[in-house]
Amino acid sequence: MTDKRILVVDDEESVVYTCVEELQEEGFEARGGTSGAEAIELYKVEGFDIVLVDLKMPDVDGMEVMKAIVEYDPEARVVIMTAYGTVETAVEALRSGAREFVTKPFDVQELVGKLRTVLEQRSDKAVRGNLRDLGLASIISVNCNEHKQAELLIRRQGRLAAIYFENGTIAHAALDDQEGEGVIYELLSWEDGSFSLEQGVPPPKRTVETDWTGLVLEGMRRLDEDMPGSELEWDESETQQEQTMDRVARALKALEGIEGVVVCSQGGELLGQATNADAVRKAMLTAFAGRRTKTLGVLLNGRQLRQVVMAGEKRGTMLVTHEQNYVGLSLAERTSAQSMAPDIQTVLGRYQ
C-alpha cells in the first residue's frame, strides 16, 4: 500500500510528526502540515488519497479545510480528527462531506484500520462513523430535516440494522427479524456501533408511519424510564462536591428575583440546594426536564439548549446547564428570565 498517499494536518507539530511516522511504518506515503491554508494549496498541487485533518486549528480550521478540498475535488476523502465530539460539529461535518470521524486521543492501529476502510471504498459515497461520535438522533434529524433519501446501516456486536429515509420521514427500519417503529426505539439505546450512510438509496418498503420527531421523543422517554439512578434519593453525607454545589445554589439564590435553586446530576441526584421547597422532588423534576431539553435541542437545530424557561401566568422556572449538571431556578413573581440570564451566567462562571 505504499502508493497510497495521506496528508496529515494538525496545528500541533508533535501530533503531525507522530502520525506521519506511524503511517509510514504501516506502508503509507505520509506527509504532514500544520497550517490549514497550506494544506488546501498542497492538495491542489499534489493530490492525496486521504486528508486527515484536525477540527480545531487557529488559521483555517478542519471544517474549512474539508469544505475547500471537497469543493475542489468532490471525490476527495477527508477524515476529521477531533477532541471536541460535539453534536453540532459532527452534524456539520456529515453535511459537508466527511468520510469518517476519529476522536482524539486515538489508538494508532484503530486509526490505520479506519483509513484502510476508507481507502477500500473509493467508489463508495457513503459517510462512515461511529455512534459514539454522532448519535442516532442527530443522524435522523439531519436526514429528515433536509428531506434526504438515504440508507443508514449500523453494525454492533455482530448485529446489522438498517434505516431508510425518504421525503423527510423514516420510511423503513429493520433489525434482525424485527421491522418497524420498535427497531427505532431499540437503536436509540445504542451508545456505540459503526455506521455507514449512503444517499440516494430508496426504501425497499414502508414499515414506519409515525413522524420522526414523535419516534425520537418516545424513544428518549423510554430511555429515561430505564436510566439507572432515575429514582435516586438524597444522600445526607456531604462530600466536597456537594458542598461546592450548595455554594453555587446559595450564590444564585442571593440574586434578586431568584426564590429557589437546586443543582442536580443528569440522573436526578440532588447535588446542591437553596430552596424552601421539596429539594429532592425539585431535583428529579429538573433532571427529567433537562434530559428532554437535550433531545429537543437535537431535534430543533442539532445543538444542546443551554437555557430554557418554563413560564407560568405570574412566575416561571429556568433550567440552565452547569458543566455536566442541571440547575433549576424558581423565579420570583413577575421576574423576567431574560433580565436574569446575564447575572445567572456570571455567578456560574465563578464556579467553572
Q: What is the pLDDT of residue 302?
A: 60
| Max CA separation in the chain (angstroms) | 71
Q: What is the pLDDT of residue 57?
A: 84
Q: Which residue has the cell 459532527?
A: 90
* Mean pLDDT of all residues in 131-153: 82
- Give the model's confidence band at 194: pLDDT under 50 very low, under 70 low, under 90 confident, else very high: confident
| Domain final residue pick, 78, 108, 124 | 124
Q: What is the pLDDT of residue 322?
A: 86
Q: What is the pLDDT of residue 166?
A: 94
Q: Which residue has the cell 455554594?
A: 247
Q: Report if residue 12 sits inside a domain.
A: yes
224-235 pLDDT per residue, tens:
666 554 443 434
- Give the model's confidence band at 175: pLDDT under 50 very low, under 70 low, under 90 confident, else very high: very high
Record the cell numbers describing residue 196, joined without a space.
455507514
- Give the model's confidence band at 182: pLDDT under 50 very low, under 70 low, under 90 confident, else very high: very high
Q: What is the pLDDT of residue 323?
A: 81
Q: What is the pLDDT of residue 171?
A: 95
Least confident of 122-136, 261-275, 307-321: 122-136
Q: Report if residue 145 sits inside a domain.
A: yes
92-133 pLDDT per residue, tens:
666 666 667 777 777 777 788 888 877 776 445 667 778 877
Q: Report if residue 316 sits inside a domain.
A: yes
Together in a domain, 94 and 25:
yes
Q: Report if residue 87 sits inside a domain.
A: yes
Together in a domain, 112 and 129:
no
| Domain final residue pick, 164, 195, 226 | 226
Q: What is the pLDDT of residue 185?
A: 93
pLDDT over 70, % of the chain: 83
Count: domains in the chain: 3
Parent domain of 170: 125-226
Q: Report if residue 232 sits inside a domain.
A: no
Record the cell numbers describing residue 7, joined without a space.
496528508
Q: What is the pLDDT of residue 263?
A: 92
Together in a domain, 159 and 271:
no
E strands along 76-168, which residues?
78-82, 100-103, 127-130, 150-156, 159-166
Give the CATH number for residue 282: 3.30.450.30
Task: Report how far residue 141's alpha carbon sits from residue 211's, in angstroms, rounded to the nearest whole number.
Answer: 12
Together in a domain, 4 and 89:
yes
Together in a domain, 182 and 280:
no
Together in a domain, 116 and 150:
no
Q: Report if residue 200 sits inside a domain.
A: yes
Together in a domain, 181 and 252:
no
Give the CATH number for residue 55: 3.40.50.2300
Q: Report if residue 4 sits inside a domain.
A: yes
Q: What is the pLDDT of residue 339?
A: 84
Together in a domain, 76 and 107:
yes
Q: What is the pLDDT of residue 224?
A: 64
Together in a domain, 101 and 177:
no
232-252 pLDDT per residue, tens:
343 444 445 556 788 888 888
What lies within 8 Å, CB to CB, of 286 at 6+ separation is 262, 264, 268, 319, 326, 327, 328
Q: What is the pLDDT of residue 181?
A: 94
Task: Report how far residue 263's alpha carbon sits from residue 241's, in angstroms, rounded to the nearest whole number.
Answer: 11
Together in a domain, 84 and 143:
no
Q: What is the pLDDT of residue 230?
A: 43
* Eight-state DSSP code of residue 11: S
Which residues lie across from 152 on neighbouring strands? 163, 197
How many other C-beta atoms are found inside a 10 Å radius of the C-beta of residue 339? 9
Together in a domain, 250 and 213:
no
Residue type, 216: V
Q: What is the pLDDT of residue 127?
A: 74
Per the prediction, the chain carries an average pLDDT of: 81
Q: Report if residue 233 sits inside a domain.
A: no
Residue 44 has pLDDT above 60, yes or no: yes
The two beta strands, 100-103 and 178-179, are unpaired
* Mean pLDDT of all residues in 262-289: 83
Together in a domain, 262 and 320:
yes
| Domain final residue pick, 170, 191, 226 | 226
Q: Which residue has the cell 451566567?
A: 345
Q: Which residue has the cell 414499515?
A: 207
